[in-house]
Structure 1
Amino acid sequence: MLSLGHVRCWPCLQLVRSPRLLWRLDGGSARRANDISQDVDISSASRYCMDTVRQRDYEGYLCALLMPSEARRAAFALKAFNVELSQIRDMVSDFNLGKLRMQFWHETLERIYNNIPPAQPVALELWQAVKQHNLTKRWLSRIIQSREANINDQAFNSLQDLETYSEATQTSLLFLTLESLGVRNVNADHAASHVGKALGIFTCLRSVPYNASHRRVQLPIDICMAHGASQEDIIRGRRERAIRDVVFDLSSQAHVHLQHAKSLQKNVPKAASLAFIQTVLVEDFLKRVRKVDFDVFHPSLQLRNPLLPVWMYWRSWRRSY
């Protein structure tokens, strides 16, 4: 039977309330996906994904809302999938339990591409997106593998390791978003690579206070060592020059990637710009962290900029990034 451990809130419970939905979809009892769709209220799965993204990734929620109608549902499915994976490490106290949850998503991905998705809301919406937009399995698999490899929360050994992880997670998600927009273009892919790396560095920097409160440090070790910033100082939230220098170096690298992505804009299809609206978030953070002299623990950096929705809408209207 489908484990209730995979069900965390009432929309999910609605999806598995029927005894028929508790059948495993493998072996002799497997049923085809069209039978599942008759039992499951697909609109409930769609609402669940929207609610999950709105609660856990508000900026991503705004980005998805700005997508064209034919790609919006897939955008919410992809972002909900990303949220599901990213929050696993905070939901389990044992890394082995986290790996079990990752294994669930490995198996779910196989079932999605075999057209027998489990009765789980994010999986069902992802299945719909795969069917409608012919999403590449490789990118989804790479996200799961990279999240799983990083589940132990160890610091990145180097900036290159951080960029490799960002490429595997953020860039893969951008590739999938481009596919949902019907964009398959080498220049768009090149821009996505740089945007993904910038997003990964931005996410790493913005999460420093949260991670420090849980005694975690993910800043690249090589840069911390170069400036004499110790992990214990970061965990204690000390606002020393050495830590600010680390933040400066990472912010500079994120800025470089943004500039590379923008330099490609004239050769990137206009439709692709909607996948890159999140560059607004990176630019806003880099401006604000510069104003506080790269003090990543400054309280103002944890406040949401009320003008972000306006700026994001403006970029989407202009089809630029």
Structure 2
Amino acid sequence: MYRFYRTAGDGLKKAAAPRWARECRRGIVTDADVTQARNYCLDQLKRGDYEAYLIRQFVPRSAHDAYHALRTLNLELARLPETVSNPGIGRLRIQFWRDTIDRVFAGNPPREPIAILLYNAMADLRARAGDGSASSIKFWLLRFLKTREKHMENRPFVSLAALEDYSENTYATLMYMTLASMPMQSVHMDHLASHIGKACGIVATLRGIPVLAAPSKPIQGPSGAHLGNTRSPALLLPLDVMAEEGLKEEEVFRKGPNAEGLYDAVFQVATRANDHLITAREMLKNLRLGKGPDHAYEHGDEAEHVYSSAAHGVETADADITRGFGVLLEAVAAEDYLKRLESANFDPFKVKKSWKLPWALWKALKNNQI
């Protein structure tokens, strides 16, 4: 059997290597490049997304590099509205990543750490599973970028359903890509990832309230002159929820946690996230008992959600869950935040930092429960 050696410098060759493998081994990426890229991504996660940094240890080893690269990319894109002076510059950065992804999957990654690590992960995946899983990851990545670009201006979501759609196309999609990089093809695991990802996306929106609602830091020119702010204050809570609770954006910008209706609006949104976690737990319990989920997977007929007949059966569901359980631990981090938010009486400005998450992850692994 042909074994693919993905990096230059090892001096090993096989005459029977397929064309794409030869193209990926033209000295573009070295072992040292991959190591530096991996260290960069781990450092970024440790500093900016400590939950992902903790969870990565429990993700299947075959998906480690993909997980590190994808989560670091998510971190960079989430920061874009905060780090650029206008949405136009942010869209240029999104286009850079769109071009970068094309180059990564064409076997010619730019000299950028996330791109190098993602290229390495995809080359390794192709060697293990062929082109199918890698192609699906490219599809998910482009959809992920399109969604991030659409929400570049930090406008409120029109409705709670719109927030769920955003979460499906970002955080659930990150989980789909992690599963595909293992690779795993299971409608039940994707279904679980959809509910957990929606909860994570909603939680990320709630987390961002104290940051986005506060005035941004002013931009100063070389002479010290004030050149404006990087962004305007924003509140991303769904408009239908805010209207129902009588909450006004301007009140949050001026009064912060004292804005009338804020706690009730946050409670409504947090409840929807918790509902998705409850649904995922019930699904997990039923699947392990050899039962099917009690509701249909609403995204099962979308592009790239293509499964064999065996992938729909519950006979292999328990084995799939055991193999990919680490990916589902995103639910533990989401629940950890929701508990802290509840303890703060649904005041997002008073949520304390978590010190219990490592213990909660260990407990989830020990009990095989999310």
Quick check: TM above 0.5? yes
SS, match of residue 183 in structure 1 = coil
Q: In the TM superposition, what is the alpha-carbon distance from 1:314 to its structure 2 partner?
A: 2.6
Is contact 1:155-1:219 (8 Å) kept?
yes
Q: Does 1:121 align with 2:113?
A: yes
SS, match of residue 41 in structure 1 = helix
Q: Which runs of 5+ in 2 are unaligned?
A: 1-22, 126-132, 216-232, 288-316
SS, match of residue 297 in structure 1 = helix
Query: CA separation in 1, counterparts of 2:24 and 2:322?
Result: 38
Is contact 2:34-2:120 (8 Å) kept?
no
Q: In the TM superposition, what is the alpha-carbon distance from 1:316 to its structure 2 partner?
A: 2.9
2:101 alignment partner in structure 1: 109
1:221-246 per-residue CA deviation (whole Å, 9 max, x = no partner) reads 11101110000122230334511110
Q: Does 1:292 align with 2:348?
A: no
SS, match of residue 156 in structure 1 = coil
1:245-266 per-residue CA deviation (whole Å, 9 max, x = no partner) reads 1011111111111111111114
SS, match of residue 213 in structure 1 = coil
2:264 alignment partner in structure 1: 245
Q: 1:230 to 1:241 in 2, by over 3 A?
A: closer
1:72 alignment partner in structure 2: 64
Query: CA separation in 1, counterparts of 2:116 and 2:25?
Result: 9
Is contact 1:33-1:116 (8 Å) kept?
no
Q: In the TM superposition, what is the alpha-carbon distance from 1:290 to its structure 2 partner?
A: 1.9
Query: CA separation in 2, counterparts of 1:33 and 1:172?
Result: 29
Is contact 2:195-2:280 (8 Å) kept?
yes
Query: CA separation in 2, counterparts of 1:174 and 1:203?
Result: 15
Segment drifting more, 124-133 vs 97-106: 124-133
Query: CA separation in 2, counterparts of 1:128 and 1:317?
Result: 32
Query: CA separation in 2, counterparts of 1:130 and 1:317?
Result: 31
Q: 1:318 to 1:72 in 2, by over 3 A?
A: farther
Segment drifting more, 256-265 vs 308-317: 308-317
2:170 alignment partner in structure 1: 169
| Structure 2 residue corresponding to 1:259, chosen from 267, 278, 281 | 278
Q: 1:318 to 1:95 in 2, by over 3 A?
A: same
Q: In the TM superposition, what is the alpha-carbon distance from 1:273 to its structure 2 partner?
A: 2.0
Segment drifting more, 46-55 vs 229-238: 229-238
2:188 alignment partner in structure 1: 187
Query: CA separation in 2, counterparts of 1:259 and 1:161?
Result: 20
The percent of aligned pairs where both chains have the same amino acid is 33
Query: CA separation in 2, counterparts of 1:212 and 1:186?
Result: 38
2:230 alignment partner in structure 1: none
1:147-184 per-residue CA deviation (whole Å, 9 max, x = no partner) reads 11111111111111111110000010010111233321
**AA paired with 1:138?**
F
Q: In the TM superposition, what is the alpha-carbon distance from 1:212 to its structure 2 partner?
A: 0.7
Query: CA separation in 1, counterparts of 2:354 and 2:164?
Result: 26
2:212 alignment partner in structure 1: 211
Q: In the TM superposition, what is the alpha-carbon distance from 1:33 to its structure 2 partner?
A: 5.7
Q: Which has the higher helix share?
A: 1
SS, match of residue 324 in structure 2 = helix
2:248 alignment partner in structure 1: 230
Segment drifting more, 71-80 vs 210-219: 71-80
Q: 1:118 to 1:304 in 2, by over 3 A?
A: same
Q: 1:42 to 1:245 in 2, by over 3 A?
A: same
Is contact 1:52-1:80 (8 Å) kept?
yes
Q: In the TM superposition, what is the alpha-carbon distance from 1:32 to its structure 2 partner?
A: 5.8
Q: 1:92 to 1:293 in 2, by over 3 A?
A: same
Q: 1:197 to 1:39 in 2, by over 3 A?
A: closer
Query: CA separation in 2, counterparts of 1:283 and 1:53?
Result: 20
| Structure 1 residue corresponding to 2:74, chosen from 58, 67, 82 | 82
Q: Which runs of 5+ in 1 are unaligned?
A: 1-30
- Cα RMSD over matched residues? 1.8
Normalised TM-score (structure 2)? 0.74
1:200 alignment partner in structure 2: 201
Which aligned segments of 4 or more residues in structure 1 are displaced greater than 4 angstroms? none
**AA paired with 1:243?**
L
2:363 alignment partner in structure 1: 314
1:114-140 per-residue CA deviation (whole Å, 9 max, x = no partner) reads 111111110011111222234321111
Q: In the TM superposition, what is the alpha-carbon distance from 1:200 to its structure 2 partner?
A: 0.9
1:281-302 per-residue CA deviation (whole Å, 9 max, x = no partner) reads 221222222223222222xx1x
SS, match of residue 306 in structure 1 = coil
1:179-211 per-residue CA deviation (whole Å, 9 max, x = no partner) reads 233321101111111111111111111111111
Query: CA separation in 2, counterparts of 1:288 and 1:126?
Result: 34
Aligned residue-pair number? 288
Query: CA separation in 1, counterparts of 2:142 and 2:240?
Result: 29
| Structure 2 residue corresponding to 1:283, chosen from 335, 339, 347 | 335
Segment drifting more, 245-254 vs 307-316: 307-316
Is contact 1:108-1:118 (8 Å) kept?
yes
